[in-house]
Amino acid sequence: MEKIPEKSLKCGLSIPVFGMGTWMMGGDAKRNENDNGEAAATALRCGLERGLRHIDTAEMYAEGFSEEITGRAIAGWARKDIFLTSKVWSSNLDFDGVLRAAEKSLKRLKTDYLDLYLIHKPNDEFPMSETFRAMNRLADEKIIKHIGVSNFSVPRLKLAQSLSERKITVNQIHYNLIYRQPEADRLVEYALDNDIMLIAWRPLQKGAISEAEILKKLAAKYHKTAAQVALNWVISQPNTVTLSTMRNPEHIVENIGALDWRLDNDDVEMLRRHFPGQKKVSDAVPLL
Ligand SMILES: NC(=O)c1ccc[n+]([C@@H]2O[C@H](COP(=O)([O-])OP(=O)(O)OC[C@H]3O[C@@H](n4cnc5c(N)ncnc54)[C@H](OP(=O)(O)O)[C@@H]3O)[C@@H](O)[C@H]2O)c1
């Protein structure tokens, strides 16, 4: 079993540089009634057996079924050996809504705490002060260990920091060689200055990134695959860790092979400048 490297914040939070996502496990935004979730649970178990510790899920994924699948996969593992993240959906951001959502997530995951709980994406219909009062209550009651956000721009993150008694430790964002909004908006710099971890979602742009010639050339230089170079680039960024959905166990093995070596700084910067087709705003969930 591999020991997956971790990145730590000054506040003490430590997160594996690479974890498993659960989006599209058991359905998309809707549950797929023809999928019993066993294949996905088996894939997650395969990742755990190979040393992956961070699983990222959300109440919104497959209407909660991805959390149930995650619960099945972690059953039998010592809870302290898993780093579990879930997210409250943007329609539940009133005080009671957040508390209720967390309780339901725990039930589906069959656990009594989350290592990290994120606001999935902002929603101006709810006062953020109320949302963070609830997030802090959950932390006071030890239902969640760390408070985080997702898809938050720098101004919104600043506001969140001013409203939360406890530290905002994480912002989960769309960041990869193509989608550079976190760089364009100086979020990466802000995270570093404020001891915040960025969790980059969609690091492979669903596998599409591997087709770029520039990556294939570097892959040959380092005797790695294009996907491994793309993942290594993401975790080379300051205060940044990442996640991939991997239903295919071969992807799990390949992606773990992205973690125990480093691209030279010159190559990190060359990719930053010359990767083709870069975009400054996510077409999936932009920073709001
Ligand atoms: N906070 C948010 O708003 C937000 C938004 C999106 C995602 N997320 C989280 O981030 C996680 C990761 O995002 P993502 O799944 O979009 O990331 P991704 O890793 O860019 O895409 C996953 C897709 O790429 C394929 N893949 C994985 N490794 C590969 C490899 N080595 N070569 C070729 N294809 C490969 C997977 O195939 P197989 O499944 O067949 O193995 C899957 O179809 C999600 O599961 C979710 O937990 C959060």
Take atom 21 of ligand 1 and give the residue whose Cα is closest.
206
Closest ligand 1 atom to 172 CA: 1
Helix (H) or strand (E) holding 221: helix 213-222
pLDDT value at residue 16: 98
Domain CATH number, residue 43: 3.20.20.100
Rounded to the nearest angstrom, the distance between the alpha carbon of 10 and the centre of ligand 1 is 29
Residue 283 falls inside a structural domain: no
Q: Mean pLDDT across the stretch 108-129?
A: 98
> Within a domain: residue 116?
yes
In a domain, 50, yes or no: yes
In a domain, 109, yes or no: yes
Pick from 65, 251, 285, 288 the residue to mutate for probing ligand 1's pocket: most ligand atoms within 8 Å of its CB: 251
Does 203 map to a domain?
A: yes
Q: Say how far apart CA 174 and CA 90 lie, in whole Å.
A: 17
List pocket residues of ligand 1, CB cut-off 6 Å.
21-23, 56, 120, 150-151, 172, 201-207, 210, 227, 243-248, 251, 254-255, 285
Q: Which pLDDT tens digit goes with each residue over 42-99?
A: 999 999 999 999 999 999 999 999 999 999 999 999 999 999 999 999 999 999 999 9
**Which residue numbers are catalytic?**
61
Q: What is the β-pairing status of strands 197-201 and 240-244?
A: parallel
Tens digit of pLDDT for each residue in 223-253? 999 999 999 999 999 999 999 999 999 999 9
Domain that holds residue 245: 6-209+237-249
Number of domains in the chain: 1
Q: Is residue 262 part of a domain?
A: no
Tally of residues, the chain: 288
DSSP reduced 3-state for 33: coil
Q: How far is the CA of 31 from the centre of ligand 1 (A)?
A: 18
Q: Both tokens of residue 26?
A: 């058991």
Residue 1, pLDDT above cutoff 80: no
Question: For the segment 134-182, what is each residue's pLDDT rounded down to a tens digit?
Answer: 999 999 999 999 999 999 999 999 999 999 999 999 999 999 999 999 9
